[in-house]
Amino acid sequence: MTDSTSRNSALKADPRLQNYFAGEEERRAATRAMFDQAASGYDQAERITALGSGAWYRRDVLRRNGLQAGMTLLDVAAGTGLVATEGQRLIGPSGRLLALDPSPGMLAELRKKLDVETIEAYAESIPLPDNHVDFVSMGYALRHVGDLDLAFSEYHRVLRPGGRVCIMEISRPQSRFGQMLLRGYIGGVVPFLARLRRSQADVKLLWEYYGDTIDLAIEPERIMDAMCRAGFVEVKCVLTFGIFREYLGRKA
């Protein structure tokens, strides 16, 4: 193993990661800088990436997995609020939304769209009391977690008994051709189209990092094992369209 990832990282050790950071100590600063730099152009690049299906899919995933009106929702790695926006629609005015992210730039963009409580912090150390929320969501950010055991333990701790966690993630296609197509689209086509649309932010580096982290993400079985170690029950992984995964669990 290289020193680019920690033992419990969501990424496999690989020399490609050294293009972004030299070790685990640099990972947080490097990824935070990438997200801050891309923040103002993130939503536009995401719309290109998702081909217009993003909002509908995120809302459907949250609804299918139990998010309801009146609940307290913690959206981890909330970014510009793409998942949080759909969560707010489901919990309604009687619910409570908390948006957590380590990037001040991303949270600044989120606050332009949503009037919610924001928390600048990492998944591995959530500054909330025990048994505080009904539902924890995370959208396409698990690959950026440095220690899965710590993150999942925190999710479990802040959830009330019976509460649920729902993690959306992009997975590597099974075929080599599919992998090539996805890598070319995310790493090349999306940044190019974002520039054509005169995005003020440079999303190229972040989307290149996305492509590498999709390639280097650990196996779903290892992720589910970490969720079980944290104490979650009814742990499962749902695959949609051969690329979108939902990691699900419940606090007993």
Packing angle of the helix pair 220-229, 148-158 (nearest 10 deg): 50
The continuous run of DSSP H or E covering 136 comes out as: strand 133-139
Is 1.10.3720.10 the CATH classification of the domain at 1-252? no
More confident residue, 67 or 199: 67
pLDDT band at 1 (very low <50, low <70, confident <90, very high): very low
Determine contact, residues 116/97, Cβ cutoff 8 Å: yes
pLDDT band at 25 (very low <50, low <70, confident <90, very high): confident
Distance CA 150, CA 156 (A): 10
Distance CA 93, CA 87 (A): 11
Quote the pTM value. Answer: 0.90
Tokens of 238: 């749902």
- Domain coordinates in residue numbering, the chain: 1-252
Tokens of 198: 């005169």
The continuous run of DSSP H or E covering 195 comes out as: helix 190-196
